[in-house]
Amino acid sequence: MLTDNGNIVISKTPVTQSEDYEWLRNTGLGYIQQFSGKLWTDYNIHDPGVTIWELLCYALTDLAYRTSFPVADLLTGAGEKGPNADDFFTADKILTTCPVTLNDYRKLILDRTPGVRNVWLETMDDINYDPAIYFDEKTVDTSLTQPVSHPFEIIKLKGLYIVKIEVEDYQTIVDHHQPFLTTLAQFRNKDSAHTEAVVQSDEYKICLENYVKDLLSQNRNLCEDFEVINVPNAEFVAVCADIELKPDANADVVFLKIYSELYNYINPNLKFYSFKELIDKQKRTEDIFNGPSATRGFIDEDELNAHGHLDVLYVSDIINRLMDIPEILQIKKIHLSSYKDNGDGTFSVLQNAQQYCLHLQDTSNAVFQFMLDADAQDKTKIFNSINFSKGLIYFTPKRKPEYSTYDFIDYPELPAGFENDLPIPAGGNRDILNYYSVQNDFPLFYYTGMDGIPKGETNLRKAQRLQSKAYLLFFDQLLADYLKQLDQLKNIFTWRGGVTSPVLLPLPLSEDIIKDLGMLLQSDTDPNKFDATYTSYAQLIETPDQQKQRRNRLLDHLLARFNELFVDYSVFKFQQNKTGDFFDEATADELINDKIQFLSVYPEISCGRSRAFDYTKPFYESADNVCGLQLRVQKMLGIISSQNKKLSVPTNAVDYKLLLQNIATGVVPTAADKLVITDNRFDDFDANFGIHVLEHILLRPLYKSTAPLDKLLPLCGNGTNNEHAECLTPDNYSMQMTIVAPGWLSISNNMDFRAFTESLIRTEAPAHVTLKICWLDPALMYLFEQTTGVFFTALAKVEAAGAVPVAQDITDFNAALLDVYTMMGLLKNMYLPSILDECDDINYNEEADKIKVPVILDYSALGSDGKEEWFVFEKKQP
């Protein structure tokens, strides 16, 4: 048995069983006795079989020891200082989310907007929407005109927010956040006369509101919007107090401390933290990174919850704070007053000399603002009356011009050298591939080591030696391959790499590792290289099918780490063909590629799953302005493209307005009227399939006086004649979406595929949102894409940050909105006619150019609505 000989030390307290030499040896001998006890009965240390087993156990402990290296070391390549950063999603990418909750939005604005002291959001759920939408309970319809003689209901839309932002005054921004004023200059109103490089005081509030609106537009949730973004007016607060100081107190120092305390109470700021500071406060990593990505510092969620909006200021609270100043002996008298800025340099009194508390007068659109006048030299501009006394001597503290920067106020400081992410752990390369053959550990008289065999030995002994080495080579190769696999972790334990990236690779041995290896393996020209042998061996240990199975399993493991599952997709991956067999088992290459594509954009489709698109930016053919739900569903369906691509592109010139009018009025189409589309029914699924998501809240009317709307979004069907009145809900705008998909593709006419896709969409969509899913024909899809494209262009003109819409912009917007309303009333599912044929005849009819769909109970649409088709397929040239 191997023992401690001064060079090899076997730990008496191994970490794992794989490192426990005694456990491995005894367990192995137990199996030997169990399976070959009748043939092998001598288990003493002189038995060669026992020697071989002991040496192999020792080799296994070496492998186990190397496996126990830190993961960062195992993933570090030669010459590197750590794992490849591109192989990991760091905390800032994978733990953060797009804003979802109200606190998330507060964090976003506080973090991205210097000078904001506080921000709060209020819902408009209980507020009548303006312009008022009336639901006539008798005609079961909605309009912008109040019913005269019928009972009605005024609609309160859900999902709209009022955002109020409490900010520092302009001079404070100049003193402490000068670069931000340059940024705000990009958000002037379109009709602004200012051209300066920095924002001026008279436009500060408007530019700030536009900046926040643009920020929120980029981070909007599905079926939500921000109706009002407002910087409230200031109700200026002044303090009148008589304060007795200690005899040795420095009056100037106390004066500045008082101003600092008053400011921090009346206009409190939120503190920004570094990661270490929050960890020291016992915060968990996942909680620190929860919410939008931080750029200036992390915000403590508990402090944010306590950072409320002040409606009342209490004199007792001020007394407690001032008495914490060591130099103050007592406060003899104190009261509060508030003032309104008249805009011309004068102020009006709102409340005067309140001894107990001061109430905010305009609770809907005002915040308290401490009157900063410590530097005032003109007595007519001094509102805070602070008088000191020492014994019987009364005096007024000096006001100095250098106080104008107000550096003595405790403005929040950002963490020095703030890092919004956690670094990839450092590591060191352990030279895992440095393999030492087990043959070199055998006693010298076995002649298996690098010393070889004496020339004087007989040929029989030499042959026996080679036979032993060949037997041990099997174990050597297994042990070496294990190290190769361990070293390959950095290349295989990732979504990077192609479909055919090998998973299991051998470690080629050489004469430098095993003496006389060339006598055991068939070698190439170079006696120390065995390329041909190991090429064959690599193909033996991993066939192409095995490689794909292993690659698939590794990707499944990575998906599982994010709590994602591709099982349904893997089992039910649809293929298109013309034989009537509309779905087959997906190929391994396709599954692997789709999983790689899914993982490559996972941070975006994970954190942004509920994020809506930015309607102030281009909508179609954009890769960076796609609804999170749309992107996620398309990736889960195996669609590689990340664009919101148009799905119906006609080859002829069609006036969409005329087409819309003709279909809406039931005109019988002629051949010249029809939309001509290239026949792509059997083309590549990835290139032709996709979905569009339309949020109904964006279709709400914005204007009533100019170019009034004569109809609103249809409640059900076409919204007329009380159609399906029993299923109508008065509000068809709040928390509702319409999702459309191409219904003319051959794959779309398989009801199982539709059911699978609709189930996927409903599973991934927010639970509180009502969905309407339509499978459209090419003509309706063309109308959907054209009307919504024009509408969102018009919406951006009137609603983008800084937009000042003129009458023509509003007229264009209302016209585009009316077209969308008309289009929405026409949407209906497209079904191919079902045919009662023999099952063997259910296929694609080349001559008739028809897809023959079987009649299946509960899956077939029976009958016809008699409407003419407004499209025709143009066959491709052979």
Amino acid identity at 77: G
Domain boundaries, given as residue ranges, for the chain: 1-68, 96-232, 234-268+310-405, 651-874
Q: What is the mean pLDDT of the chain?
A: 87
User: What is d(CA 791, CA 813) in angstroms, rounded to the nearest whole number?
Assistant: 7
User: What is d(CA 489, CA 390) in angstroms, rounded to the nearest whole number?
Assistant: 76
What's the burial of 20, exposed, middle or buried (CB within 10 Å: 0-12/13-18/19+)? buried
Which of 817, 704, 713 lies closest to 135, judged by CA? Answer: 713
Decide: 655 and 779 in contact? Cβ < 8 Å.
no
**pLDDT tens, 402-460?**
898 888 888 878 898 899 999 998 999 999 999 999 999 999 989 999 999 999 999 99
User: What is d(CA 532, CA 697) in angstroms, rounded to the nearest whole number?
Assistant: 67
Which of 735, 753, 757 lies closest to 221, judged by CA? Answer: 735
Per 3-state DSSP, the chain is made up of helix, strand and coil in percentages (nearest 5) of 40, 15, 45
Beta strands in 580-721 (DSSP E): 675-678, 692-695
Which of 170, 167, 143 lies closest to 154, judged by CA? Answer: 143
Residue 570: per-residue pLDDT:
52
Decide: 541 and 524 in contact? Cβ < 8 Å.
no
SS3 261: helix
Residue 715: per-residue pLDDT:
80
Decide: 659 and 870 in contact? Cβ < 8 Å.
yes
Q: How many residues does the chain have?
A: 878
What is the H or E stretch that residue 738 is in? strand 736-742
What token pair was written down for 414?
A: 């950002």
Distance, C-alpha 186 to centroid of its chain: 27
User: What is d(CA 840, CA 338) in angstroms, rounded to the nearest whole number?
Assistant: 87
**pLDDT tens, 667-700?**
989 888 899 999 888 888 888 899 999 999 999 9
Q: Which of 158-172, 557-571, 844-858 has the lowest mean pLDDT?
A: 844-858
SS3 584: coil
Per DSSP, the residues of 413-437 read PPPTT--SSPPPPP-----TT----
SS3 681: coil
Amino acid identity at 618: P
Residue 849: per-residue pLDDT:
60
Residue 582: per-residue pLDDT:
47
Is 822 a residue whose pLDDT tops 70?
yes
User: What is d(CA 750, CA 732) in angstroms, rounded to the nearest whole number?
Assistant: 30
Give the number of other CB atoms < 10 A from CB of residue 209: 20
Residue 717: per-residue pLDDT:
46
Decide: 207 and 184 in contact? Cβ < 8 Å.
yes
Is 81 a residue whose pLDDT tops 70?
yes
**pLDDT tens, 590-625?**
788 888 888 988 999 899 999 999 999 988 888 789
Helix, strand counts (H, E) of the chain? 26, 23
Which of 188, 168, 355, 183 lies closest to 267, judged by CA? Answer: 168
Half-sphere exposure (CA, 13 Å, Cβ side) for 358? 30
User: What is d(CA 298, CA 419) in angstroms, rounded to the nearest whole number?
Assistant: 10
Section 629-643 average pLDDT = 88
Is 141 a residue whose pLDDT tops 90?
no
326-339 burial string, b = 16+ CB within 10 Å, else e? Answer: ebbbeeeebbbbbb
Phi-psi region of 314 (alpha: psi -120 to 50; beta: other; left: phi over 0): beta
Residues 6+ apart with CB under 8 A from 474: none
Cα distances (Å, whole numbers) of residue 49 to 32, 54, 59, 384, 472: 10, 9, 15, 97, 12
Q: Is the dihedral of CA 479, 484, 485, 487 positive or negative?
A: positive
Residue 247: per-residue pLDDT:
92
Place of tokens 């019928």: 150
Residue 573: per-residue pLDDT:
57
Give the number of other CB atoms < 10 A from CB of residue 868: 13
Phi-psi region of 876 (alpha: psi -120 to 50; beta: other; left: phi over 0): beta
Which of 299, 286, 226, 220 lies closest to 608, judged by CA? Answer: 220
Cα distances (Å, whole numbers) of residue 565 to 117, 493, 553, 571: 43, 18, 12, 12
Give the number of other CB atoms < 10 A from CB of residue 263: 22
Decide: 572 and 590 in contact? Cβ < 8 Å.
no
Question: DSSP secondary-structure letter at 220?
Answer: P
pLDDT confidence tier of residue 78, bands split at 50, 70 and 90: confident
Per DSSP, the residues of 282-310 read T--HHHHS-SSPPSS-B--HHHHHH----
What token pair was written down for 210?
A: 């536009």
Section 647-669 average pLDDT = 92
User: What is d(CA 541, CA 549) in angstroms, rounded to the nearest whole number?
Assistant: 13
Which of 856, 455, 788 lies closest to 627, judged by CA? Answer: 788
User: What is d(CA 862, CA 843) in angstroms, rounded to the nearest whole number?
Assistant: 19
Distance, C-alpha 185 to centroid of its chain: 29
Which of 487, 486, 535 lies closest to 508, judged by CA? Answer: 535
User: What is d(CA 843, CA 834) in angstroms, rounded to the nearest whole number?
Assistant: 12
Decide: 371 and 238 in contact? Cβ < 8 Å.
yes
Which of 679, 583, 680, 681 lies closest to 638, judged by CA? Answer: 583
Residue 485: per-residue pLDDT:
93
Residues 6+ apart with CB under 8 A from 554: 492, 493, 503
Distance, C-alpha 58 to centroid of its chain: 48
What token pair was written down for 371?
A: 């009157």
Residue 579: per-residue pLDDT:
42
User: What is d(CA 57, CA 590) in angstroms, rounded to the nearest whole number?
Assistant: 42
User: What is d(CA 870, CA 617) in angstroms, rounded to the nearest whole number?
Assistant: 31
Cα distances (Å, whole numbers) of residue 866 to 641, 668, 674, 827, 877: 37, 11, 17, 15, 32
Per DSSP, the residues of 124-169 read -TTS--SS--EEETTTTEEESS--SSS-EEE---SSEEEEEEEE--
Decide: 209 and 231 in contact? Cβ < 8 Å.
yes
Is 45 a residue whose pLDDT tops 60?
yes
Place of tokens 């839309």: 157
Give the number of other CB atoms < 10 A from CB of residue 536: 11
Section 352-362 average pLDDT = 95
Q: What angle do CA 451, 453, 454 make, to 5 degrees?
A: 110
More confident of the two residues 326 and 746:
326
Greatest distance between any 2 Cα atoms in the chain: 122
The pairs formed by 7-15 with CB atoms below 8 angstroms and a separation of 24 or more are: 8/58, 10/61, 14/61, 15/68
User: What is d(CA 778, CA 872) in angstroms, rounded to the nearest whole number?
Assistant: 9
User: What is d(CA 862, CA 857) in angstroms, rounded to the nearest whole number?
Assistant: 10
User: What is d(CA 278, CA 154) in angstroms, rounded to the nearest whole number?
Assistant: 48
What token pair was written down for 236?
A: 């200026």
Task: Give backbone dihedrals phi and psi of 445, rounded to 5 degrees, phi first.
Answer: -75, -5
User: What is d(CA 299, CA 291) in angstroms, rounded to the nearest whole number?
Assistant: 10
pLDDT confidence tier of residue 576, bands split at 50, 70 and 90: very low
Tell me the whole-structure pTM to 2 decimals: 0.87
Which of 369, 388, 390 lies closest to 255, judged by CA? Answer: 388
Q: Which of 194-208, 286-300, 552-566 has the lowest mean pLDDT?
A: 552-566
